[in-house]
């Protein structure tokens, strides 16, 4: 009898423990590695050199680097990289608005020669980064047209550990990919198509300036009417739905059926024919937190910035988009990202997750590495990319060639999914960033409340405007002098001929 009561007591205790203790995350079908959950955090508009150009050991800004004001008139002088001010907003002219901003008037026009260090967290004005501007900057691989294409020396500015310390901490603890390229030499929309599907076409029955030879190369206008746009190729999300594998698109501005240049899934024919897939799988970013708490984290997550802000968002970041898309501050976006990373690290999912932080395009900022041209549309310029996982190599700089197709290939290879048959086929799968034989790395919890140096807004605006105006004045004066140097002798010779 005593034995019966003892067995019964043990059974009850086990049952109660199972009821009250947190459930372990379920294993995802098809994964051949310890990685059961891939989390892609996609930020906005920075080149590799802009964020990690001075990172020790990385392929960053070369010593003595200079870029001409005009590659066709080098006598006008050169610009060298310089440190940017993280609190100085940088506006990006001519091709897109930051996520969550529908009207250009909503942009805060506020505070704001070698590559130089930005001395505030934001630029105070914008940089162009359209398809055409990017190719002018690229200059057939010479990488010397950035200042001329931007009509600004701000393209040469960079940030460092003092501005974005958490990103540098992640790089020193986990993996920094210094040979990761955006997929297309241009802005957000086509690159988000690559992030979702590995390609930018073919587009049929549409004739717009942002389509070239049947492929998307640029952003539509901010008020573009998307009706009639239906992209009939596959996405990774569709492939996962086809095999009943879990995925979620976490969006800071959840509108599951409304497309934007960042939220591209509603543009695909499959999701237009199956809108229930969007209403089921597209969630507000807040659900990323609850899905972790409720043990419902999917196999693949995409996190797109928008209006959602973490509860730890610093007061100094009020009114700032977390996207890092200029004029948004880089420190504020980093705090948002660190908060998301902390949620994974502090959960049972940490041991089975890999977090990839990347940026969707170069944002008009200089990068010194000429992107390899694998087809008519890319690669585009390098973007910063961090790999964070207990299985990421420790303090490793991965020089392997990657692009957005590599994100897809990583998911395909890790979860034994069919390829999409586009850029993902030839892309490297990022496995070189991992070591599954090592002892798992510990979590690195960041405070997620860093605020960089803040200067007076009026002072930044005046200084930036005056400095840039001076650069432009010099440029124009030198151009006029060069022109005069050619015209005046010809005029004198002409007079001599007539007199003779």
For the chain, the straight-line distance linking the first and the last C-alpha, in angstroms and rounded, comes to: 133
Q: Are 452 and 163 in contact (CB under 8 A)?
A: yes
Give pLDDT, residue 491.
Answer: 45
Q: What is the pLDDT of residues 303-315, one digit of tens each?
A: 999 999 999 999 9
> For the chain, which residues score pLDDT lower than 50?
1-24, 26, 94-98, 100-113, 455-484, 486-500
Omega before residue 193 within 30° of 0, cis: no
Give pLDDT, residue 120.
Answer: 62
Give pLDDT, residue 126.
Answer: 59
Give pLDDT, residue 105.
Answer: 38
């Amino acid at each position: 009898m005593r034995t019966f009561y003892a067995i019964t007591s043990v059974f009850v205790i086990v049952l109660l423990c199972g009821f009250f203790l947190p459930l372990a995350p379920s294993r995802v079908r098809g994964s051949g590695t310890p990685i059961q959950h891939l989390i892609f955090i996609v930020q906005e508009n920075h080149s590799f050199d802009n964020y990690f150009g001075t990172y020790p050991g990385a392929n960053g800004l070369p010593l003595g680097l200079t870029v001409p004001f005009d590659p066709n008139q080098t006598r006008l002088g050169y610009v060298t990289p310089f440190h940017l001010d993280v609190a100085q907003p940088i506006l990006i002219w001519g091709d897109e608005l930051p996520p969550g901003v529908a009207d250009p008037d909503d942009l805060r026009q506020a505070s704001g020669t070698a590559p130089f260090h930005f001395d505030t967290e934001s630029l105070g004005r914008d940089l162009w980064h359209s398809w055409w501007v990017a190719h002018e900057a690229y200059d057939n691989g010479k990488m010397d047209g950035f200042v001329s294409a931007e009509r600004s020396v701000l393209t040469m500015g960079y940030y460092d550990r003092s501005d974005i310390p958490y990103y540098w901490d992640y790089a020193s603890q986990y993996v920094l990919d210094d040979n990761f390229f955006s997929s297309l030499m241009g802005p957000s929309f086509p690159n988000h198509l690559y992030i979702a599907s590995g390609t930018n076409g073919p587009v049929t029955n549409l004739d717009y300036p942002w389509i070239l030879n049947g492929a998307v190369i640029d952003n539509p206008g901010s008020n573009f009417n998307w009706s009639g746009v239906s992209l009939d190729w596959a996405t990774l999300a569709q492939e996962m739905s086809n095999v009943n594998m879990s995925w979620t698109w976490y969006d800071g501005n959840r509108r599951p059926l409304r497309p934007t240049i960042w939220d591209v899934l509603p543009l695909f024919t499959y999701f237009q024919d199956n809108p229930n897939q969007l209403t089921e799988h597209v969630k507000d970013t807040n659900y990323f937190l609850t899905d972790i708490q409720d043990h419902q984290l999917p196999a693949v997550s995409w996190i797109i910035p928008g209006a959602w802000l973490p509860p730890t968002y610093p007061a100094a970041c009020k009114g700032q988009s977390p996207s890092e898309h200029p004029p948004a501050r880089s420190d504020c976006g980093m705090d948002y990202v660190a908060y998301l990373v902390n949620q994974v690290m502090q959960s049972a999912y940490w041991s089975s997750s890999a977090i990839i932080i990347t940026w969707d395009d170069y944002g008009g900022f200089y990068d010194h590495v000429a992107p390899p041209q694998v087809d008519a549309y890319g690669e585009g310029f390098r973007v910063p990319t961090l790999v964070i996982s207990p299985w990421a190599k420790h303090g490793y700089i991965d020089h392997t060639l990657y692009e957005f197709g590599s994100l897809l290939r990583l998911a395909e290879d890790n979860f034994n999914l069919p390829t999409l048959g586009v850029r993902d086929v030839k892309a490297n799968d990022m496995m070189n960033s991992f070591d599954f034989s090592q002892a798992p790395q510990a979590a690195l919890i960041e405070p997620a409340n860093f605020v960089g140096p803040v200067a007076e807004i009026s002072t930044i605006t005046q200084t930036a405007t005056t400095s840039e105006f001076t650069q432009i004045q010099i440029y124009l004066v030198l151009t006029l002098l060069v022109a005069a140097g050619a015209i005046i002798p010809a005029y004198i010779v002409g007079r001599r001929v007539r007199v003779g």
